[in-house]
């Protein structure tokens, strides 16, 4: 081999190290479906993909199974420009990576990269979900047992027939509520069971809880302070319960299979909450305000669950229901 050819061979070898995954014979576009930018194959492109590419370039010296997916710029190389492309699209509003990006597809570009396998686009068996899997997915939402919800001291009043009932008045509220370290009145959540019913098109939770000695004050005829207990209609020793239901939009797709195409807003259903007031004769007047207190108490739950369910939208929408 001539000296000139030897130098060319060394230069090519060095170039292979620099671009890391770009070496190899020029090949035709691959036959494996993938999504460009989803370098770590978790089904979406986010910051973790940029981190994955950086690690493979500078820290973990091991090949990427589908290097085409890491080639966000589609220039036939896996390098720092792909990290820049991913982050610029995510955070600066730049153009998305070239196809295939939003949907699984083949690489239209002939280059030296390859894609041996790409799990999220494995179309051999369509992904589907059943009620058991849906319950497990919903159950991943952090709605833990023993959760304490704090009503702020002096934070709410319920109008009742010409006068107001102050809920958790400042002068009666515990000095510290739960982990907040602030004055307030605790509502204890004893448990939450995940629910899924695809025939009815809904997912959600059945929540149980307890409220004891919730202070209220009334200025009806004479100032009066009472305490409330919230419980099931079955008895004062039975926890109250209600369901937080998130409706699913389910339609038949082109293949004749049912598919989740949308997720609605959470609503409260089947509340089993009774309010018992103690502390004096006038406290019986609170019976007329029990429903208003229940509505005020339940509303934030639906709002919170709507925020939590947002994290499941990408996981659920587009899934077929297992038959």
DSSP 31-86: SS-B-TT-TT-SSS-SHHHHHHHHHHHHT-----TBHHHH-TT-SS--SHHHHHHH
- Measured at the alpha carbon of residue 207, what is the angle toward residues 275 and 304, in degrees to the nearest 5? 100
pLDDT band at 76, cuts 50/70/90?
very high
Instruction: Please give the Cα distance from 44 to 37 (Å, whole number).
Output: 8
Q: Please tell me the predicted confidence (pLDDT) of residue 7.
A: 31
Where would I find the beta strands (DSSP E) of the chain? Answer: 128-129, 147-152, 156-160, 163-167, 184-197, 202-220, 222-231, 240-252, 258-263, 267-272, 274-278, 320-321
pLDDT digits (tens, 9 = 90+) for 249-307: 999 988 888 999 999 988 889 999 988 888 766 676 665 566 667 777 777 777 777 77
**Assessment of whether the complete model's pTM goes beyond 0.75:** no
What are the extents of the domains in the chain? 3-121, 128-321
- Residue 153: closest CA among 125, 194, 182: 182
Q: Please tell me the predicted confidence (pLDDT) of residue 20.
A: 36
Structure tokens at 312: 């499941």
- Residue 74: closest CA among 49, 39, 105, 98: 98
Q: CB-side exposure of 23: number of CA atoms within 13 Å?
A: 12
Q: CB-side exposure of 310: number of CA atoms within 13 Å?
A: 6
Q: Please tell me the predicted confidence (pLDDT) of residue 123.
A: 58
Structure tokens at 236: 């004062």
Q: CB-side exposure of 174: number of CA atoms within 13 Å?
A: 16
Structure tokens at 1: 């081999």
Residue 1 pLDDT > 70, yes or no? no
- Measured at the alpha carbon of residue 77, what is the angle toward residues 102 and 60, in degrees to the nearest 5? 95
Q: CB of 74 within 8 A of CB of 98?
A: yes
pLDDT digits (tens, 9 = 90+) for 104-157: 988 888 888 989 999 898 755 556 888 888 888 776 665 555 678 888 888 777
Whose tokens are 């966000």? That residue is: 72
Q: So what CATH class is 128-321?
A: alpha beta
Sign of CA dihedral 291, 293, 296, 298: negative
Residue 160 pLDDT > 70, yes or no? no
């Amino acid at each position: 081999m001539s000296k000139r050819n030897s130098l060319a061979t060394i230069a090519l070898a060095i170039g292979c190290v620099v671009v890391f995954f770009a070496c190899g014979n020029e090949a035709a576009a691959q036959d494996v479906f993938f999504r460009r930018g989803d370098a770590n194959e978790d089904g979406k492109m986010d910051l973790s993909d940029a981190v994955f590419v950086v690690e493979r370039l500078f820290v973990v010296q091991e090949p990427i199974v589908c290097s085409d997916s890491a080639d966000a710029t589609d220039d036939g190389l896996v390098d720092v420009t792909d990290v820049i492309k991913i982050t610029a699209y995510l955070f600066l509003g730049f153009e998305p990576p070239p196809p295939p990006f939003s949907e699984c597809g083949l690489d239209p570009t002939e280059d030296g990269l390859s894609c041996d396998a790409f799990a999220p686009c494995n179309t051999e068996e369509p992904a589907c979900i059943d009620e058991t899997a849906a319950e497990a997915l919903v159950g991943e939402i952090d709605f833990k047992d023993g959760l304490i919800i704090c009503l702020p001291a002096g934070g709410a009043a319920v109008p009742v027939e010409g006068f107001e009932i102050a809920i958790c008045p400042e002068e009666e509220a515990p000095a510290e509520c739960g982990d907040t370290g602030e004055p307030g009145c605790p509502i204890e959540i004893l448990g939450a069971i995940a629910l899924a019913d695809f025939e009815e098109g809904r997912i959600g939770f059945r929540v149980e809880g307890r409220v004891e000695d919730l202070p209220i004050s009334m200025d009806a005829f004479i100032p009066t302070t009472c305490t409330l207990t919230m419980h099931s209609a079955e008895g004062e020793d039975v926890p109250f319960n209600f369901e937080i239901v998130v409706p699913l939009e389910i339609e038949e797709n082109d293949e004749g299979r049912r598919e989740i195409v949308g997720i609605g807003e959470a609503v409260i259903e089947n509340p089993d909450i009774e309010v018992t007031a103690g502390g004096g004769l006038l406290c019986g007047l609170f019976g007329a305000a029990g429903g208003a207190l229940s509505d005020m108490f339940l509303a934030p739950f639906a709002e919170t669950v709507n925020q939590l369910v947002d994290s499941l939208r990408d996981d659920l929408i587009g899934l077929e229901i297992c038959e």
